[in-house]
Structures are given as structure tokens and as C-alpha cells.
Amino acid sequence: MNLSKSKYCNAIQCKKMLWLDTFLPAEKGEISNQAILDNGTEVGIKAKELFGTYIDIDFQKDLSVMLNDTKKAIESNENAIITEASFDYNHNFCSVDILRKMGEKYEIYEVKSSTEIKDIYKEDASYQHYVLTKLGYNVVKVFIVYLNSHYIRKGELDLNSLFIKEDITDFAKERSLTVENNIQEINEYMKQKEEPRKDIGIYCTKPYDCPFFAYCTKKLEKPNIFDIRGMRFSSKIKYYNQGLISFQDLLNEKINEKYKEQIDFEINKKEDKVEKEKIKEFLNTLERPLYFLDFETFQQAIPMYDDISPYEQIPFQYSLHIINEKNELSHKEFLAEPNIDPRRKLAEQLVKDIPLDVCTIAYNMSFEKNVIKKLASLYSDLREHLMNIHNHMKDLMIPFYNRDYYSKDMQGSYSIKYVLPALFPNDPSLNYHELEEVHNGSEAMNAYINMGNLPIGKQQELRKNLLKYCELDTFAMVKILEKLQEIIEKAD
Ligand code: SF4
């Protein structure tokens, strides 16, 4: 078997994952996010700059070209930084993100776009250390290079503060024999012609969600323990291992009331639950005029603008529906131009659009509140107004979070993406699937990030679709509020 860093790491998580990926790749589910991949590329480029001048080994489909180019770079330089330096020992291939050559000594730097070190990163670097050591290279140091979450950009990017280099040399050295054994075991495992029998377990989500989970659980009765919302995966596996798998199995078990309620409602096809007084109590906290607010944000692994940390949420768009004292509905919106720092303009527009002392409603408001608080900390002239908006916010999620209103169709979730279709099952105007191009927050983020690179015509189309998507988020809130009022009136 020809192994690589990623194949080795997949097999460390679960050998069957590698087997399925090799022999049944069509069964793989989709879990990657383009923005994460792009962030990874950007981090890789910046991490290389950390080392000054470097020789880059170009990616080639024919790996032997990369191996040859690496050999040449090593042989013709006494001291050098070589990126994507590629090696193969006995069909175990690896490209080292950054290799430092100092005469006869070598240092390995494995770059990660994360803000913390995961055990799997150490396994990855240990595999590289093993390959190079077996080929006779004197590897004296092994580092993981990752992002410093406390870094806040001020002026020029300070790469030395942005990145953290963690020395894991001792771990990699001690791991050598284990890596060798692992490689042997993986090779044996991969010889199997029949699909290996392996039950699901905690490793199905650790360290990463396995893309074959749907395949490996396809024979389980539906709905089952893995459909319970909010329960930790480790607890689900515990019940699964006890044979408590289908909702029927779980119905009479001692489990948290919320989980039990989900099961009970779905199995017994119960009517909607309405805690009239509690919903009324919530509605009474809302005073007209009402401002329904929703932000869209994006994140950058490498902060492009001042006062931003890696992966901080940067608002670029909002939608605002307004119900005035006469119960009339109007709409305002903001969408920043691409490739600029959108924050100041957005904050200025927001304080123009939302007056002081009015009730602003969000769904899961902690997100909107955090965005506003951050803007207030940046712009002292707008601080008072922004904090006024912040302090007058109400959360429309509350009746659903508390299950004062609950329907079996919410499937245990209080997310607006479940609540909305449960309340309005046949309304295409409230169906995110009916939208073009942008259907969820991560698609909105990707669309905005990429918009600047598109031809003008395509940009305009994307802008239109982004605006429609965000508008639906706040329009949905308006409809949900109307529905709650209607339900209360009916119950009276
Ligand atoms: S779902 Fe679990 S058992 Fe199946 S391949 Fe993935 S990690 Fe392995």
C-alpha cells in the first residue's frame, strides 16, 4: 500500500476509513468546507514566509518528480529552507511542509491552520520524522506550527507573533517504533478484499467527523440514537454499545427529559406542545417598534485587517425587518463591497438603521450581541449607540429553546433551520432550499470571500442572492413571531 501523511492519519483514526476511501470512495459523504481549505492554503503560504527565502518543491501528479526535485535541492544547498520537500521510504510518502537543512542536520515543521494542537497533528509529524529518519536524514527537531488565537493584528502582519512553533521532537522520537508497527498493521489491513467488519465507535468523530458515518450506520433502524439532538456523541456510543439504538429501544430508558421528549413526540406522532402562559410572558417582553436583525460574518485564518484575531467573526452583511407601532412591515439591509474591511461602514449604517432604545430581536442573539459588542469596542464614537442596541436585544429562540412551543418536526432542535419548516411546512417563500446559490451561513461566507474575484456580472448576481438569503433570515423571524401570536390567540 502506498501511504501518505493523510492516509496514515485517516488510518490512525480508523483503518476502515482508509479501506472505504480506497475501495468504496463513492460512499463518502461531503463534509469539507471550501473556506476552511482556502484558509489552510493561506496559512501555509504565510508560514513559509516566516522562514525567509525558501525553495518550493512544486506539486506534481508524478510524485517521483517531487522526490527528484527535493533530492536536487538538498544536494545543491548546504543550508536551505525547502517547502513541500518530498520523501519516500518503502512506499511511505510524505511532503514536509517546511524542511530546514543545516549542513547534515534537519528540522521538520508541520504547519496547521488551527489555533490549537490536536494529537493527530503529532501523529502526522511523527510519521514524517519516521520516513526521513529511515532514509538516513539526521532529524534533530520536529515542530508543529499553528496560529496564535491571542494575536491581534496592528499594522503590518507580525508573522512571529501570529504563529506558534511547538517543539514535539521527544514525542516524535518516542513514537518511531509505534509508527513502524502502525504502518505494518495498516498494510495488513488493506490486503483484505472483503469489506472489513468494524463497528462504529467514539473514533467516528474524533478527531474528525468521518465522511463514511452515514454508510457505516445505514442499516440501523431510523430514527435512532444518532438522531437525538444535543446529546454528546460519547453518550450516544455508550447507549449504542448497550444495544439501545432505535427510538423504541430508548423510550423507557432513564435519559434526559429533553431527549425523551424528542423520542416520545416522534414515535407517538404527538400534537404540538404549546405552553401558552410562557409564550405569552415572552411576547409581553417585546415592545413595538420591533427590529429583527441578522448578521452574516466571515472569518480569516490570517487577519487581513487591523484589530482582528485569527478566525474572528467579521460582519459583512445584515438584514433588518421592522414592524412599526402601526404593525407595518418594512425592510433595510446592508452588504459590504468585497475585498474591503466591512466593519466601519456596517457599524455606521447599523446605528442609522436602528434608533436608540428600541427592541431588537435576533434568533440566538448571543451571536449578534458578540458582533455588536466587538464593533462597539472598535469605534468609540459609535460605542454608546451600539451598546444601546446590544442592551435592548431579545432572543426569539427562547420559546423554542425552552420548548414552550415544540413540534415533533423540530426533531429535538431549536435552530431556526428546523423551527421554520416545522411551523411553515408548505410555504415555499420560507424555504431556504428554494433560494439560488446561497442557502446557509457557510455558503454566504464563501460567496462573500470569493465575490471580489468574479466578473462584475457574476458579482451582481451573487450580491442579489446574498441579499435574498439574509432577508429570508429576518423575514423568517417576523413570520415566527406572527405564528406565536396566532397560536396564543387561538389558544385563548
Ligand atoms: S464511520 Fe466510524 S467505523 Fe465507519 S469508517 Fe468511519 S470511523 Fe470507521
Would the pTM count as exceeding 0.75? Answer: yes
Paired residues of 85 in beta bridges: 96
E-assigned strand segments in 276-381: 290-298, 314-323, 329-335, 359-362
**How many other C-beta atoms lie within 10 A of the C-beta of residue 422?**
17
One-letter amino acid for residue 166 of the chain:
E
Residues lower than pLDDT 70 in the chain = 31-39, 491-492
The protein residue with its alpha carbon nearest to ligand 1, atom 5, reads: 17
Cell of 439: 442557502
User: Cβ-count burial of 400 within 10 angstroms (0-12 exposed, 13-18 middle, 19+ buried)?
Assistant: buried
Distance separating alpha carbons of residues 380 and 307, to the nearest angstrom: 14
Evaluate: CB of 151 within 6 angstroms of ligand 1.
no
Cell (9 digits) for 312: 474572528
C-alpha to C-alpha distance for 12 and 110, rounded to whole angstroms: 17
Question: What's the angle, vertex CA 38, arms to CA 342 and CA 11, rounded to 5?
Answer: 145
Ligand 1 atom closest to the CA of 201, numbered from 1: 2
Residue 35 has what pLDDT?
47
Name which residue sits closest to atom 2 of ligand 1, judged by CA: 204
pLDDT digits (tens, 9 = 90+) for 262-286: 999 999 999 999 999 999 999 999 9
d(CA 247, CA 289): 44
83 residue type, one letter: T
Q: What is the pLDDT of residue 36?
A: 53
Closest C-alpha among 247, 193, 194 to residue 221 = 247
- Residue in the block written with cell 453518550: 235
Rounded distance from Cα 173 to ligand 1 centre (Å): 29
Q: Any residues with CB less than 8 A from the CB of 25 and at least 6 apart, and which?
A: none
Task: Report the atom number in ligand 1 closest to the C-alpha of 198.
Answer: 3
Helices in 115-223 by DSSP H: which ranges?
119-134, 159-162, 169-189, 213-216
Residue type at 406?
A: Y
Report the pLDDT value the prediction gives residue 491, as an integer from 0 to 100: 64
Residue of 326, 16, 36 whose CA lies nearest to 196 = 16
* Distance in Å, CA 203 to ligand 1 centroid: 7
- What phi and psi values does residue 491 have, to the nearest 5 degrees? -65, -30
Residue 88 identity: D
CB 16 near ligand 1, within 6 Å: yes
CA distance linking residue 475 with residue 429, whole number of Å: 10
Shortest-distance Cα residue to atom 4 of ligand 1: 216
- pLDDT reported for residue 431: 85
- The C-alpha atoms of residue 199 and residue 13 are separated, in whole angstroms, by 13
Q: Which of 425, 479, 478, 415 is nearest to 272 (CA)?
A: 425
Ligand 1 near 20 CB (within 6 A): yes
Beta carbon of 200 within 6 Å of any ligand 1 atom: yes
Residue nearest to atom 3 of ligand 1 (CA): 200
Region for residue 156 given its phi and psi (left: phi exceeds 0; alpha: psi -120 to 50; beta: otherwise):
beta
Atom of ligand 1 nearest to the CA of 15: 8
Grid cell of 438 as nine digits: 446561497
Q: Map residue 114 onto helix, strand or coil.
A: coil
Nearest to 288 by CA among 357, 354, 356, 359: 359
190/141 Cα distance (integer angstroms): 32
Q: How far is the CA of 204 from the centre of ligand 1 (A)?
A: 5
| Strand partners for 319 | 294, 333
Return the ligand 1 atom nearest residue 216 CA.
4
| Dihedral of alpha carbons 390, 391, 396, 401, sign | positive
Q: What is residue 416's predicted lDDT score, i.e. its pLDDT?
A: 92
Question: What tens digit of pLDDT does each residue of 12-54 get?
Answer: 999 999 999 999 999 999 865 544 555 578 899 999 999 999 9
Residue nearest to atom 7 of ligand 1 (CA): 204
pLDDT of residue 34: 46
State if residue 212 touches ligand 1 by the CB under 6 angstroms criterion: yes
Indicate the residue type of 479: K
Three cell numbers at 262?
Answer: 424528542
Residue 383 Cβ inside 6 Å of ligand 1? The answer reads: no
Alpha helices (H) in 354-455, listed in sequence order: 365-378, 380-391, 398-401, 416-423, 441-451
**16, 189, 199, 209: residue to mutate for ligand 1 pocket, most atoms within 8 A of CB:** 16
> Ligand 1 pocket, 204 CB below 6 A?
yes
Q: Tell me the sheet residues that pair with 232.
A: none
Ligand 1 contacts CB of residue 198 (under 6 A): yes
What pLDDT does residue 32 have? Answer: 55
Q: Is the CB of 216 under 6 A from ligand 1?
A: yes
Cβ–Cβ < 8 Å for 130, 110: no
**Ligand 1 pocket check for 17: Cβ under 6 Å:** yes
Exposure of 391 by Cβ count < 10 A (0-12 exposed, 13-18 middle, 19+ buried)?
exposed
CA of 202 to the centre of ligand 1 (A): 9
245 lines ligand 1 (CB under 6 A): no
Q: How far, in Å, are 65, 131, 262, 266, 412 from residue 257 at the CA level? A: 60, 52, 9, 14, 11
CA distance 249 to 225: 9
- Residues 6+ away with beta carbon under 8 Å from 427: none
Residue 52: what pLDDT? 93
Query: Is residue 97 within 8 Å of residue 87, measured between CB atoms?
Result: no
Q: Compute CA distances 423 → 320, 426, 486, 489, whole Å.
A: 21, 9, 12, 16
How far, in Å, is the centroid of ligand 1 from the Cα of 226? 14
CA–centroid distance, residue 190 to ligand 1 (Å): 15
